[in-house]
Chains A and B, each alone.
Chain A
């Protein structure tokens, strides 16, 4: 067990990503440990989403290697890759719900593909997931276009969690939620992490989330990780951007 904990669940080595002549990520290294909630911050446009998308395999990289669950995603075969994909869930920034399916069908879509279970159990699990993310069962028959922004986020989380993954990627999960909703969301992520042993990779700008939900924080700048550690490490850091971020007006308000 001890060895497993030390093995990082995501191991990113010397990743370089380039769009045309602009180098977005430049020899980046990052480890995400099993069972932790990693908050990933950085200035807008620094490439936080790009890194997330590179790890998931949506953006091609120029150099470097990525291992998820100890599987090198470049050299793995299709079935091995599918196994990895089945064990992670992704919450996209805009939700990315399938617009022609109802909420219920959206959440059941991965189950239908990967599990052979009865319709009754799928319906019940869907209701359980909806309750978990704080939505009423009536929402199940609605279409994504009939939902508010916050509800879309919650349904998208329910879909990301539908197969009870070991790892979830959350791309700005609390943006667009009211503060109470965002607080609930952080609490929810915490609960799920505790109960399911979930590992969470969370791109966020929400200082509250960083303080209440995250175990560790990594900061992206100039295509590299400029700092990684606990919230106390971040506050002690002398890096100018970090100083501004964690000692600015908003940060002081959060800390009270």
Chain B
């Protein structure tokens, strides 16, 4: 009983009958649309038009709408197109689509040059907003911290310990592995190039200074920004999406105190520990390569290391760690709380969190370098 849809024209004097037959459903939609567009060109020619639908085997919303569309476009001035032979089964469906108001859909944002310029302008102006947001969050976190200092019982120790486990303990294997490998590579490259000058042993100086002052903490901070900063943003962002943060507020809790402060504390405590472990792993890896590849005996390596570096180098490195942790944490939390309702927004803010986190870590490192150089450390 079903078959390919057809729309036949039967002219009777001044009147025109359009006979629709077959299956008028979604699966035939392309064919149907072509036929209807073709028939729409008849508008205005005959005196009266009937659309006979009595032979239609099957009708769904697509078919019903196309018939309604045909009826509308054939109705012009004095001519009114009529639908005839509608079975009781389908009359309510046709009535339903008759209620549809045809509204033109406007393309919401066409791409224009002025639009692109506007976007650039907004992005530049947004930089100030970003900095203001970071300062705002820093203030809010410090305020929450002072409140906790006054009322120590409101500090969320369990939550902080939980985040310490996530950020610090679980990060140890990967951080130690990567810094170990970086230590190996630095030592190998140093020995390879210094050997030409017969200065093999100076690789120990280079390794010690580089790892303790710069690489150890910088590398670890970048890894933490990618590993934990992104996690913070995603956690807070999905909580924001599900209105969990609003729920906290209505219960009289400060989201900064409940969610942000424990995360910040965990990160500020974790990064110096990770930076120390990372530096040790890098020195161990460097020492191993110096021994196996460069022939520097471990005793000689340690003696040289003791001469080459002082406690100042270590302090310079480790002092930077909590500051970088704070920067990563603040960026991650600001981005997390800025997430809007959609999954796309969550992705964008997580990306922004990592990119901005790494950027600010490197900027801070530069600021520290200038500072330590000027005080002669």
Contact = CB atoms under 8 A, between A and B. Distances in A.
Interface of A: 98-100, 104, 115-118, 121, 123-125, 127-129, 131-132, 137, 140-141, 143-146, 161, 163-164, 191, 194-196
B196 interface: no
A196 B61 contact: yes
Interface string B332-357: 00000000111111000000000000
B33 A121 contact: yes
A131 B97 CA distance: 8
Given A121-B29, A164-B25, A195-B90, A131 B96 contact: yes
12 contacts: A99-B343, A115-B27, A121-B29, A124-B65, A127-B100, A127-B102, A128-B61, A128-B100, A131-B97, A145-B340, A145-B342, A164-B62
Given A132-B61, A164-B25, A196-B61, A127 B101 contact: yes
B26 A115 contact: yes
Contacts of B27: 115
Contacts of B90: 195
A104 B105 contact: yes
Interface residues of B, number: 32
Given A125-B61, A131-B96, A141 B108 contact: yes
A83 B338 CA distance: 42
B350 to A, nearest CB: 14
Contacts of A137: 101, 103
A195 B94 CA distance: 9
A201 to B, nearest CB: 19
A195 B92 contact: yes
Contacts of B101: 127, 131, 137
Contacts, number: 83
B105 A123 contact: yes
Contacts of B102: 124, 127
Nearest to B103: A137
Contacts of A161: 61
A161 B64 CA distance: 14
Contacts of A132: 61, 96
User: When A and B form their complex, which 10 residue pairs have the shortest distance between CB atoms, in order from nearest?
Assistant: A145-B341, A100-B344, A195-B93, A164-B60, A99-B342, A100-B342, A128-B100, A117-B29, A123-B105, A131-B100
A17 to B, nearest CB: 27
Contacts of A99: 241, 341-344
B296 to A, nearest CB: 56
Given A116-B30, A131-B100, A194-B92, 18 more contacts: A99-B241, A99-B341, A100-B343, A100-B344, A115-B30, A121-B62, A124-B69, A124-B100, A127-B100, A131-B97, A132-B96, A137-B103, A144-B341, A191-B92, A195-B89, A195-B92, A195-B96, A196-B61
A125 B105 contact: no
Q: Which of B25, B97, B241 has the most CB of A within 10 A?
A: B97
A196 B64 CA distance: 11
B62 A146 contact: no
B92 A143 contact: no
A141 B106 CA distance: 9
Interface in B9-32: 25-27, 29-30
Contacts of A117: 29-30, 33
Contact of A146 (B30, B61, B105, B341): B341
Nearest to A126: B105
A161 B60 CA distance: 11
Given A123-B105, A137-B101, A143 B342 contact: yes
Contact of A125 (B62, B99, B340): B62
Interface in B225-243: 241
B341 A118 contact: no
B161 to A, nearest CB: 29
A131 B344 contact: no
B30 A191 contact: no
Contact of B29 (A104, A115, A129, A195): A115
B344 A196 contact: no
Contacts of B100: 124, 127-128, 131
B37 to A, nearest CB: 9
A143 B108 CA distance: 13
Nearest to A127: B100
Contacts of A118: 33
A231 to B, nearest CB: 24
Interface string B74-91: 000000000000000110
